[in-house]
A = this chain, B = another copy of it.
Amino acid sequence: MITTTPDSKEVAQAPINLAFTSEQKIAALREMLRIRRFEQQALKFYNQGKMGGFLHLYIGQESVAVAAASLMNGHDEMITAYRDHGHALAVGMSMEECMAELFGKATGCSKGKGGSMHFFAPDKHYWGGHGIVAGQVPLGLGLAFALKYKQIPGCALCFLGDGAVNQGVVAESLNLASLWDLPIVFIIENNGYSMGTSLERSSAIDNCLAERAAGFNMKWSVVNGSHFYELRATLHTSMEEARTTLRPVLLEIKTYRYYGHSIADANHKKYRTAEEIEQYKENHDPISCWQHQLLEEKILTESMLESIDGAAKEEAAASVIFAEASPWPEPESIFTDIYYEVDQASEAGRTGVHFFSDSR
């Protein structure tokens, strides 16, 4: 479990945090609240049967995506797993396109083709949303490779879960990143569980997961996800390291999810105690912690908070209305977005048979 010490004074004084304007600090809070309110709406309508498949909520972990996104320099690229709503909103995707995607509508960010696990916004340097555990990790490597190849001064932010760390491709990727000096920050969001399996039951470690990086000659550190300043400072240092020295870094962020693995996970109070969940909510909730910090800094007032939160709630509610009012994708769209050449009706796309069933 993470410690209860608050964000240290020191880390708040890190240059990257000193340069963090009051406006930006409020914006960070707003992002976290938007994520939470968005997901609470999603949960409500998922439970009403308006969505299909899985719904993996990010609630409890909001600080991580928001801190990372707050540091992206316009050249950095982000990729994550299926627990991807927070990252999507943090990089600037709209609630409407995201909610519509959950509803399976044509107006969704993936035109209703991807669902909860597959939000993408390449124009915002956001490469998804991937359902196969750790499958996104070598893609992140490819983003970093392309940045270096094109001599773009950015880094790749590659998120993965604590359970994902035990997929072999992660070790392969750590090796390649270090061997080839690729500008990538691997970010383990360690929420303590992979589905119903606690870290102790999934991972043989010495002290922490991140330490595995040492075997690949890679820097690593462990950060408390409830400490926004610490998060930002460490992320910033790591991202700068990656951008300027092209050396990869592995970070492990201690965090927690409040809901089950997905909403279908009816077991989530069996593999962990109600007290454990409550304890975290009480003492470590990233939103409360940051709110508290901003109130203390007198940047935030209770009434500002209310209005920010109110706006977030409204926006979330409006996104549902948008999603509900949106049309379903046309049946014809089943056969688009498979081959680029076919979609373009290019000569390559018009040559030969590409599909082998009836079209309906």
Contacts and interface: CB of A to CB of B under 8 A. Distances in A.
A179 interface: yes
Interface of A: 166-172, 174-175, 177-179, 201-206, 211-218
A215 B213 CA distance: 8
B166 A172 contact: yes
Contact of A175 (B174, B204, B213): B204
B214 A206 contact: yes
Contacts of A174: 204
How many monomers of this protein are in the complex?
A: 2
Contacts of A206: 214-217
Contact of A217 (B171, B177, B201, B204): B204
Given A170-B171, A175-B204, A214-B215, 9 more contacts: A166-B171, A166-B172, A168-B172, A171-B171, A205-B216, A205-B217, A206-B216, A211-B215, A212-B212
Contacts of A214: 206, 211, 214-215
A279 to B, nearest CB: 26
A177 to B, nearest CB: 8
Residue of A174, A175, A178, A179 most packed against chain B (CB within 10 A): A175
Given A168-B167, A168-B168, A171-B170, A202 B215 contact: no
A46 to B, nearest CB: 33
A257 B212 CA distance: 30
A344 to B, nearest CB: 36
Nearest to A179: B204
16 contacts: A166-B172, A166-B175, A168-B169, A174-B204, A175-B203, A175-B204, A177-B204, A179-B201, A179-B202, A179-B204, A204-B218, A205-B217, A206-B214, A206-B217, A211-B214, A214-B215
